Structure formats: structure tokens, C-alpha cells
Amino acid sequence: MWLRAYNHMTLTELNLGFNQIGDIGAQSLGDALQHNKTLTTLNLDDNKIEDLGAQFLGNALQHNITLTTLYLGLNQIGDIGAQSLRNALRRNTTLTTLQLSENQVGDIGAQSLGDALKHNITLATVDLGGNEIGDVGGQFLGDALKRNATLTTLDLQNNEIGDVGAQSLGYGFQHNTTLVTLNLWNNEIRDVGAQSLGDALKHNTTLTTLKLGGNQIEDLGARSFGDALQHNTTLTISDLGSNQIEQVGAQSLSAALKHNTTLTTLDLNYNNIGDVGAQFLGDALQHNTALIELNLGYNQVGDVGTQSLGDALQHNATLTELYLLDNLTMSIIQSILAMLPNLTHLRLITSEPNEDYSLFDGYRWEKFIQTNLLQSKQFEFCFLPRVKTQQDLTLMDALVLSYQTPFWIENKHWIVKFDCESKKYDLKRYTNVTSMSEDNINYFGQTRLYTIPIIRDKFGYFDRQTQVSQRTYEDVFEGIKVVYEGTIILNSVSNIIDNNQTIIVDVNELILNVNSIIMESIQDKNDSIMNYKFQNVKYLTLLIYEKWPINLIEHLSTIVNLWNIDILILDFQC
């Protein structure tokens, strides 16, 4: 009812996600939506809405004439709720985006939604990821694609669709003339399903993005896909990561790349193409004129394969991003970079550099850049070594020191970053956790221990209590990029391992999570692990989450030169 009170206003977007409003709350919202004439976006993600709540919302959609985007992900909507939404979608003429991921619509619910897609004339984006649709549900949706004329994006990841469902979907988008993006990531699709999808690609003229990562298409499926690429003229992005593709499959894809003129991004990470497969791809790169990004991370590519790729790059004029995330040696990486005279941005990421610590050596990189890469504008090194022993810690200290030369300090466009993890016994030694329980120590043992941006115009840390799980690891890693480009937040400073020295950090803008910093008692020289001094900060924002700390200025003076502050923002978030 309260939404109805805003009808005289121009409220267009409403985010009520993660509020546990349940079916009763959905009923109130549904009643309001029947009368509201301004709202275009409604987010109800993760609200414990079940079939009854979906029924109320479905009834509202039959009367609402303004809503274009509806988020219902992470609820408990089943097949009955999907049926209610079907009835609404057959009549609704404004909704363009429907997000239903991580519900329980199942195959029967997929049948209802498929029927809706046959009649709906406005929906452009539908997300049904993680809904246990299965192969039967895939058949219903594939049949819907043959008749739908508006859908451009369909997300079906994590649905156990299998070969039978993939065959139906392939036949569906073979005849579809609007679909642009299809996500089938992690659906137990094997070579038979891949063959059907490949056959569809030979005839489809609209699809530009196909995500097939996390399946098991293997070499036979890769051959079908490669054959399709020789005929398809629209696909630009393809994800085939984690598909058990080996050198034979790489050979098939390489043959296709010699002729294909539209594919710009190919992701083959976490396969097993090895040196031989890399040689095939290297040969293809000498002829291909379209590919811009190629991901070969974690493919057991060694010296021979890397050398082949490096040789190929001398003749390739279009590839700008080649990912070889693995235990590469410094010499291998340098052999590739030496052949890229137009390279402007390098991001090097590695997680287990136990074979060759020289990969991190700032002295070697400095010499190489000055000799071979003077035209480059930006380098971003994201190192993720695991600190397990005292020897590892000594090596980390030496590596940090290797970036303290005038070359790195004076050239501000270099981005040098260390992210290190430590086991719980390191935490006992290097952080103040002696009074913590064993469970807490185990928890911290799964987190990032410290981050050292050695040279940066802006400076920031991630909270050490942010657990980096398998699911969030990529998101956290992308967060690093955001930190470089946007606002910087310092959540913690006691997550630094060093030799109790003072590091001068030259930044203009700094945001401090005051309560976290004060609680860690960084002003106490006996407890702090190292001393920080933010020397030239002019723009300071203080985030206050609980209460105004006593002696705040005194505490701040231990890490910030307060004499240079031009602008101070106090952001009370309590």
C-alpha cells in the first residue's frame, strides 16, 4: 500500500533486495503495482518469495503498464509460481527484463515460461540460471526459441540441461532470428550436445556470444565447434573454458581460426591443450586477422608451446590480449613481450609462483621494460604468492625491495601490486591473534593477509576479514581494478607483513574506515606491525560506522600528515 502513496511522484526505480519481505510483502507490492504508473525497475532479489508471492506479482504484471525490469533472483519460486508468471507474461506488454536466477522453477516451470515466451512480444532478457531446469526444461525452452521474436539474451547456466536439452536449444536458436547472447555455462553438455549447437551455429545469423564453459565437450565437441566457426559469420565471443579439450580439439579450433573473420574473443582456460595444442594455435594466429583476446590460462603450456605462440605474434597484427596464467618463467614471458612492439597494457597474474620467484623481480622487469617496451603506457602486476615459511617471507621482502628504485617510483603509470595469503601459523606470528579461538584463526587462514601497492597515485587495502572463497575470488580480483580506477578505502593496516619500517605512501585522496583502524590500535608501536605515513593527502574522507572515536585526530596523526589536508569529509554511516 505504501508504494501507492508515491503515485503522485516520479519514482522509477525501487531496490528492495535482501529484505526478507516474503509472500505477504509481495502481496502488498503486487497490489501497489497494479495502480502505480511510474515505476520501471523493481528489485526483489533474495526476499524469501515463494509461489504465493509470485502469484501476487504475476497478477500485478497483468495490469501494470510501466514496469520494464523485474529482479526475482535468489527466492523460492517453484513451478506454480512460474505458472503465475506465465499468465502475466502472455498479457504484459512492457516488461523487457526478467531475472529469475537461483529459484526452483524446474522443468515444469520451464514449460510454463517457455509457453510465455511463445506469446510475449516485449521480453528481451531472461535469466533462468540455477533453476534445475534439466534436459526436459531445455526442450521446452528450445521449442520456445523457434517462435519467439524479441528475446536477445537467455541465461541458462547451472541447469543440468545435458545433451538432450542442448540439442533442443540448438535447434531452437538455429531458427531464431533475434537471440544475441546464450549462456550455457556448467550444464553437463558433452560432445553430442556440442555437435547440435555447432550445427545450429552454421545457420544462425544473429548470435554473437556463446558461453559453453564448465561443460565436458572434449575434443569431439571442439571439432564440431571448430567446424561451425568456419561457416558462422556473426559469433564474436566464445567461452569454451573447463571443457577437457586437449591437443586434438585445439587442432580443430586452430583450423577454424585460420578462416574465421569474426570471432574476437576465445576463452580456452582450464583445458589441457599442452605444448602441441599451443603450437597449433600459434600457427593459426599467423593467419587469423580477427581475434583480439585469447585465454589459454592453466593449459599446461610449457616452453615449447609458449615459444610457438611468441613466434606467431611476430606475424599477428590484431591480438592484443593473450592470457597464459600459470607457472610461467620470467624468460618465457619476456620472449613473448619482446615480440609485442605495440603493447600498451600488460596485466600479469599468477597464484603459485613456487617454481620461479624471478617472475616477480622488479630489477629484471625494470631492465626489460627500459630495453624492449618503452612504448608501453601501463603495466599491472597482480602477484598472489602464498607465504608459508620464513623463507617465503624473506623472498617477499626482497621482492618488495626490488620495486623501490627510482624507475618505479618516478613512473607513476606503473601499477605494481602484491596480494599475499598466509596460513594460520603465519597469522599467529605476524598478527595479533594470540587470544583468538582456533576457529577464528582458521577463518583468517582462508583470507588475504596483506596487500602492498608499492607505487600508486591512489592507495587502498581490502579488509583482511573479507573471505576470498572459490565463488567470490574472481569478483574480489575484479575489485582490484575498481580500486585502481575509483575511490580508495583503507579498511585495515594491521594486515601488513614487513620489518617494522615506515613506508611513505604518496597519494592525493584517501578514504579511511576509522573504526577498523582504531580498533586495531595502529597508534601503539608495540602492537603495530609497521608504520605508515600518508604524506601528501589533500582529500580525506573518514567513514564512521559505529561512533566517533575518542582521540581520533591523535590516532590519525600516526598515519596521515594532517597539515596538507584541503578537504575533509566526515561520513557517518552508523
Q: How high is the pLDDT of residue 276?
A: 95
* 94-124 as b/e: b if 16+ CB within 10 A: ebbbbbbbbbbbbbbbbbbbbbbbeebeebe
* pLDDT beyond 80 at 24: yes
Beta bridge partners of residue 347, listed in sequence order: 380
| Helix extents (H) in 36-105 | 51-61, 79-89
Three-state secondary-structure class, residue 400: helix
> 28-32, 372-376, 384-388: lowest mean pLDDT where?
384-388
pLDDT exceeding 90 applies to what percent of the chain? 49
Spatial CB neighbours of 257, under 8 Å, sequence gap ≥ 6: 229, 263, 266, 281, 284, 285, 287, 288, 291
Domains in the chain with CATH codes = 1-188 (3.80.10.10), 216-326 (3.80.10.10)
Top pLDDT among 35 and 562 is at: 35
| Mean predicted confidence (pLDDT) in 206-218 | 97
Q: How high is the pLDDT of residue 506?
A: 61
In what side-by-side order are the strands of the sheet with 509-513? 489-490, 509-513, 539-544, 567-572
Confirm if 493 and 517 have CB atoms less than 8 A apart: yes
Q: How high is the pLDDT of residue 371?
A: 77
Q: How high is the pLDDT of residue 406?
A: 78
Q: How high is the pLDDT of residue 317?
A: 87
Give the integer Cα–Cα distance in Å for 539 and 372: 38
Q: How high is the pLDDT of residue 320?
A: 80
Q: How high is the pLDDT of residue 338?
A: 61
Q: Is 258 exposed, middle or buried (0-12, 13-18, 19+ CB in 10 A)?
A: middle
Residue 179 C-alpha from the chain's centroid: 23
Give the integer Cα–Cα distance in Å for 455 and 445: 27
- Cell triple for residue 167? 540439442
Top pLDDT among 112 and 534 is at: 112
Confirm if 174 and 143 have CB atoms less than 8 A apart: no
Q: How high is the pLDDT of residue 402?
A: 77
Top pLDDT among 255 and 322 is at: 255
Other CB atoms within 10 A of residue 81 CB: 29
